[in-house]
Structure 1
Amino acid sequence: MNKSRFNPDTVQLPRRTTVASMMLGLLVGTVTTFSSVYADDTEVFFGQLDPDMNVFPNVLFVLDTSGSMNSGDSGYSGTRLERMKSALNTILDNSSNVNVGLMRFNGYYGGGAVLYPVTGIDQPICPNNDCGSISLSAQVSQDNDDMEQYVSSGQMTPGGTRLSLGEDDDDNPQLTSFRFQNLDIPSGVTITSATLEFTAEATRTGSADLVLSGQDVGDAPTIGTTDHYLTGQPRTTAVVNWQPDDWYIGNTYESPDVSAIVQEVTDRADWCGGQSMAFIVEGTGTRAAYTYNKSPSRAPILRITYDSDSIPEDKGCTSKAALAQIGSSSDDAYEKVNNGKIIPNSNELKLPQTSNKTSRRIVTRLRFQGLSVPPGATIESASIEFEVDEQRDGALQILIEAENVDSAPELVANNYWISNRPVVSSPVLWNIADSDDWPVNTKVSTPDIASHVQTIVNRSGWETNNDIAFVLRHTGSNNNRRVFDSYDGEQPAAAKLRVTYRTKLGASGGAQANFKTAREDMKKVVSELSATGGTPIVAAYYEAVQYMLGGPVDYGTKRGYYTHQYHRVSHPASYTGGSVSVDSRCTAANPESSYCKNEQINGTATYISPLADSCQTNHLVFLSDGVPTSNTAISRVKELIDETSCSPDSGNEACGRELASWLEQTDHNENISRKQNINTYTIGFNINSSFLADLATAGGGSYYDAASSEELVAVFQNILGDVLAVDTSFVAPGATVNQFNRLTHRNDIYFALFKPDQRPGWAGNLKRYHVGANSSGNVVIQDKNGKPAVDAKTGFFNETAKSWWTAGIDGSAVEAGGAASNISLAGPGGSGSRRVFTWMGTSIPSGGVDLTAAAQKLHEDNIAIDIDALGLGGGLTLANIERRNELLQWTRGIDLKDEDLDGSISDARTHMGDPMHAQPAILNYADGGSTKTTIFVATNEGLLHAVEHENGTELYAYMPK
């Protein structure tokens, strides 16, 4: 990324010789010189950076954990809390190139606490894999993972609502089993503690003698439903006797330590981290526990602590998952088969050809940076995942080959470079059937490519976090294609490489494996979320701001106003200073134990702000299922934002809107360049909340409604997509040069602006400013009112600046004002329609061409622009005729999609495409004794715009054939 900024105190033309030659070309009438590329003069400020720099957008999720999140909703499975957990796990599993943090509510009057500081999602959390004592928990996660068997009849009881430990209420002896999946315990480690936790489904008292054992298998399967299934399961030699106390409905109860059972299973030769473990209970007496089917959030839990430093050299088998995603425009480039030309920056990923013609076949290269697979790993599975951008049908075949190098290099744009890359032999064939006409946004995976990934990982030069690339090319006789999202089209939906592998952490290669990452840690935090208490939205918002800005730890110093065991103090890595006091019986393995409720941070603790780099963007994401129920932060917020009143000035919503506005409008770190503001996004979970909507509006974000896990996943994905969009970028400016006297400059300057976005439709504009001296005599860029247009500290346009041709303040907003705002269907000078031209001929006559003739008009009435000219295959159908008319109407500026949301689809679309790589150029014409000036700018929507100098109206636009 180019981090240089335009210097407002020094005005000069970059690449003078290039600009001069361009203008000379214009003077002699060579209009086509506008297509020259000026990449070196382009400054693009994205919400994320080069992955090697580990500078990504900051996103802090603030989660409603009030008691109402335990509620269910008609038409949706599971409680709101369970649906939120499911959605968060999906997002954590699928996100990359982002820093994520987690907060939760701390009940009535309790504000909130930082559960996990904002951290790079793939960041290793143990330096040199020195993790020390590690705690984890797992909960029964599906119906057939907890079940009873009647001892006498052998009958199994799938789908039950109660686990009767020992005997049922009729004194019938039972075997009861529960299975825990994906236990991230490397083989051979020393288990230091392990307990089972149950929630009483009914009150049961009296004596009970229970015996706990484990299934003596390396990877416990889902519990079977055939009679006598549990009787036939092998048992561990280690057993634990348990005489439980009386159980009362709704309370939680822990078993004695079962670490001997866990140790016996994890010491097995066929145990590997990531596998499943099951337990069996039998005995006399009875205790009744919740099943997963009755309440997933109250299903049995296994809590384990182990010593990560105890792995023998030949042990430590663990299964891990690695995710890498396309991270730059050149990492999903393609090569044209017919001429070898390399094309990066495509808005779509078309495989294996750009249209259904043999001549349009391509070879595509996908490069994934930083694949966290250690040398010596055994690859269990691998695939490339795409997201569908256009629905297409027709059978086709694609060959997939890994680049056979230690670490895949960056793209080199030499002809035929991709097709000449060394590749692994025996390509993987991807057969796509005619019926595979996947709808838009469907996620599609290739066949397994584990053998190719294994070949690369086996290379002597492979190291963890090397880069890996794949070449995809056409095979067979079909000429069909599929269209997926690309990095430039929609960054969050760009191709992903998913790999699962096994490694031995005790072996030499295993030392390069990431023992734990922030992603895994955050998933553990999510799994432990419990819901209780009220909805202190403003107070939790205030605490989130304190964290983001590096303020004092306030509400996060204790577990809520009522010191509840299910609430939290802020994470120790989120602050500096202070000291924690807590009962020694409160352990990391069970942070919700009743022994933990009085945990407190004493002394002066100060949050560590994640606002660290000028190119980061910062975002808060609030999710709540209800209206605020308390507000103890009114005076705190007023002091923070330096206001004496709010509207309203009291009540549970007081000062929330003002806080959101202040966050969005204020530069919160003036020591680094660019405005360091914080945007707020909000989600109403099964509630339509005007207050949450107001917070998002004031905070410069967006408000969303969601109810199901799937809807919540989609919302999270939209938000993470939005954080990659940037407010403003510009290409090198063009300054007016008097062609009759090259030694003098006129005092106007033009900027071609564009706004990068995760979607393909980047907004652009052309704006005029003035070059003049300020009160100190320094030459600066000035707006129409003679005020500085550019912030001297950041190098970006001032929010209060007003460019020429603009009715009001347009500041740094790309779409506002400028030439784009003056586009009209009426055309310039009172003409009847906008003048948009093209040239449909094949050779230009020696006498030139009159573009104003009807044959050159870009209009649906011009029959020369037929269906074939627009590339619409399928013949002269009604659908194609309608599509042709829509394309031409949209191109000449009719707002067919109602982009301005005014309810009309026949008015003007006041929009210019992005002029990235296109420098504005100025042509002065002699007009008698005066001079007329026209500014030309080309955009990536294919139009060359000619703009009048004085009022910014478009004189005409031209699109090549």
Structure 2
Amino acid sequence: ACTGIGDADGDGVCADVDCDDNDPAVVGQPGSSCDDGNPNTINDVIDSNCNCAGVAVPCPGVGDADGDGLCADVDCDDSDPGIAHQPGDACNDGNPNTIGETIQADCSCGGGSTGMAPILTCDRVDGLRDDAEEQPSGQIRLASNDLELINDANSGNQVVGLRFGGLRIPRGAYIVSARLQFTAESPNNDNPADLTIYGEASGTPLGFRGSGFNLSSRPRTNAMANWLPSEWTAAGQAGFAQQSPDLSPIIQEIIRRAGYASSSAIVLLIEGTGRRAAESYEGFAARAPQLCVEYLIAPPNFDCPERLADFGAPCDDGNPGTYNDQVDANCNCAGTPAPCPGIGDNDGDGVCADTDCDDNDPAVTYQPGDACDDGNPGTIGETIQPDCSCGGGSPAPALSCARIAGSSDDAVEAQSGQVALTGSKLELAGSSSQGSQLVGLRFSGLDIPRGARILRASLQFTVADTQNESLCELRIYGEASDNARSFAGSAGDISRRPATNASVEWMPSEWQAPGTSGHAQQSPDLSAVLQEIVGRGGYASSSAIAIMIDGVGRRAAQSFDGSASEAPVLCVEYLPPAPVVPRSGGAAAPETSTAGALLVPPARQAEVLENLSVYPNPATDRLTAAFTSAAEGPARIQAVDMNGKAVLVQERDIHKGENAISLESLSLPEGIYVLQVISGSSVQSVKFIIVSE
């Protein structure tokens, strides 16, 4: 049988393939099955070197019986490759009165919250006594043909009052969003314009009167909003540049006051410096200022009603020396003191020595990037520079808007991963035929310089149809890349893109008529998402920016292929970065940020991390993260809950080869979390479950 080859040991395996032709007990040959003794491998076979080796199991110690890529401990049916959902995935329990359901730990669909779509109400100044200007002398002008915000060339800085009597917001409603919309009366700007908007702290504010100081003498809300408007370049403009920032905290404070009723009027007061000229009721009634408010009749059942937040919700404790700021069990906002490993904090002010402008003086806590005032009345938006000087101000913010410009700039990805590039509409974020889906939007031509300070950013859609699903909750995030490429038809082209840490939740009110493009179709402020993108090391002003939207419910917007002139628009107001001034005797200091909980460090090395797994899973109060690394150095270990909140952040040193990092004394509520290990630009993620003992 082995002619010309032989079989020395007579075991029936020819010498050219027998792994040991002198031992009849060894009958293995390349390609034959074997057992390498490793429980974390499968399909073990003898290789060309006569070694027994298997293919690494993607779920060591757990398994993946149906081969769908989901480990048995989280796959809701590990015998059916067609069932790929797992705890934490979005789902729909079929109840039209709930929103935000996810696959639960027992693989049922639930966890949704009750409610309804926000209600939109808008009211325009509609009477002689509903807009007014108060000059520095206290004189009141009730019949001006324009509203000068704020500087009057003849009299100086004044106070402007606006009264809205027809909003009909129920007392105690939960305010989702609120914005003022002006129309430019002329491009007669005086830069810089720095405006502050307050509300009148009254449940029953009266109309304006001609008596002296009738505006400035009114009680003011504690809540206020700062607005640095960009240039108004032409009369008749009524767009993003003429729209205020979100005023929801102001309106929320007013409608919770004793004496307020749905029939009450709401008064807003504006003061500041600089000038933007807006139409008044007397000058052009149809273009008078308009206030639009979205609200929920039954506010969410918050753990901390005064903060409108739940325990564990992110917040800002105002301390630059802390991170992971969260609402605690006493409804206080508190963060974790920021450590300075290997750097130090000599004066103990919570600012690390490498960024503290004076690490020997605990009273000096400012650092590069903090707001400051250089004393120049002709500039706004100054920040502490890398050399610890105050500078970088601008005469006025710049405004940049870009519309979707081609078929490959908007796309929809179905749950199957199939990507459509030429649909006639963008269904946010569910299709009646395809179920939940992911929408991608790509904008080129914004020309925002790297390192710019983003003041405001918003998406504007146009209604394609009114087949709304009342409970609609969307999540908007960006693509974490230096220059987003066009969308392609390949499977998973949108979902495979890296996501920014920053994201924004949006509960849009009902979309009432096709062709509408107003307040209800405008996203919340996306400045955090844009700031993360333009701060990336490889981003350039010529880079394209991609935005992704997922969620539950349905709102239908026009796409490029449905109506190019009504395709989505992204508008951004920003302050250009100051020239980088190096610290004495050295290169320019790198820009860093400690704002927010989920920040990926600047890239330091190539992709280095692989094969992240955690055990035990489920866990109780301890967890071990195992992975391999191609380099040694610092890494960030962080855990994130299914709402995107960081619940754990640690800095650890890792080494080449296999790593096992123990996380002890965990104190996390039962639920599903994502563990991330970050080293340079390399990120590995894995889900884990916390259960009670």
TM-score, normalised to structure 1, is: 0.24
Write 1 or 2 for the structure with the bigger share of strand.
2
Write 1 or 2 for the structure with the bigger share of helix.
1
* Larger relative contact order (Cα-Cα within 8 Å, sequence gap ≥ 6): 1
